[in-house]
Amino acid sequence: DAGVIQSPRHEVTEMGQEVTLRCKPISGHNSLFWYRQTMMRGLELLIYFNNNVPIDDSGMPEDRFSAKMPNASFSTLKIQPSEPRDSAVYFCASSHKPHFGTGLLGGYGYTFGSGTRLTVV
Amino acid sequence: QQQVKQSPQSLIVQKGGISIINCAYENTAFDYFPWYQQFPGKGPALLIAIRPDVSEKKEGRFTISFNKSAKQFSLHIMDSQPGDSATYFCAASSGTASKLTFGTGTRLQVTL
């Protein structure tokens, strides 16, 4: 199990450029989440998908942000145009819905990727 | 609207001591309360979790205490070790949704 795979690990781009972040969830997980982490605001949920369908995008800061999940094994988060205030670490996480009470946790345990550190200059 | 409040923001504990991190929630529909541990340069990793039908859950040196009436839960790390130095996040979700709402995090430093 390779876990949740994000790419790139680091991205430095100039203001106004388009940025695309990529995520491969764990096979068999049916939910995918995009989070943004900053010192000031902590972990913010941007959008999440269930079975490839966007369920809640209320955390997407503005129209410059968009996310897609064309199939169960791939998702993208795009920022166009990028701005310096978008600089943050972006995490993708996936989860499944186990039967209640099975396993150690019996809940919606997320597995996070290692994140993409985005710097917009 | 912040639905999960976490404190303290940072914590310094001596090796062998007890680390205590507290969280409070507002949404009474929450029924799943996990804690995540994050090391620098890594994503958060699930550490331990509890449901409100029990008041305490213990896994090794890590214990969650849950007070449903007060809408509070806490993480206790017994015999804290330097390797426990990390940022800890509490979180909550309800059975009707799979998304987690995270606290703001506590940076724990365990000194020798």
Per-position DSSP letters for A16-60, written without gaps between them: T--EEEEEEPPTT--EEEEEEEETTTEEEEEEEEETTEEEE-TT-
On whether any CB of chain A is under 8 Å from the CB of B4, the answer is no
**Least Cα separation, residue A64 to chain B (angstroms):** 22
> What's chain B's average pLDDT?
92
pLDDT higher than threshold 50 for residue A23: yes
Please say whether the beta carbons of B9 and B106 come within 8 A.
yes
Task: Please answer whether residues A5 and A23 qualify as being in contact, where contact means their C-beta atoms are separated by less than 8 angstroms.
Answer: yes
Residue B13 has pLDDT above 90, yes or no: yes
Q: How confident is the model at residue A73, as a pLDDT?
A: 95
Mean per-residue pLDDT of chain A: 89
Beta bridge partner(s), residue B98: none
- Judge whether residue A83 has pLDDT over 80: yes
- Confidence band (pLDDT; 50, 70, 90) for A102? very low
What's the pLDDT score for residue A42? Answer: 87
Mean pLDDT of B3-26: 96
- The confidence score (pLDDT) of residue A1 equals 65
Predicted local distance difference test score (pLDDT) of residue B59:
92
CA distance A93 to A110: 6
Among the partner residues B98, B103, B105, nearest to A95 by beta-carbon distance: B98
Residues of chain B contacting residue A55, judged by C-beta atoms under 8 Å apart: 99
How far apart CA A89 and CA A41 sit, in angstroms, is 12
- C-alpha angle A47/B46/A117, rounded to 5°? 50
> Checking DSSP bridges between strand B106-111 and strand B86-94, what pairing results, if any?
antiparallel
Q: Is A101 left (phi over 0), alpha (psi -120 to 50) or beta?
A: left
pLDDT band at A106 (very low <50, low <70, confident <90, very high): very low
pLDDT bucket at B53, cuts 50 / 70 / 90:
confident
B10 min Cα distance to partner chain A (Å)? 13
pLDDT digits 0-9 by tens, B56-111: 999 999 999 999 999 999 999 999 999 999 999 999 988 656 788 899 999 999 99
Tokens representing A4 are 């949740």
> Residue B51 and residue A86: Cα distance in Å, rounded?
35
Q: Does A11 or B54 have the greater pLDDT score?
A: A11
Q: Answer yes or no: is pLDDT of A101 > 80.
A: no
- State the average pLDDT over residues B1-13: 88
Average of per-residue pLDDT across B10-38: 95
- pLDDT band of residue B31 (cuts 50, 70, 90) is confident
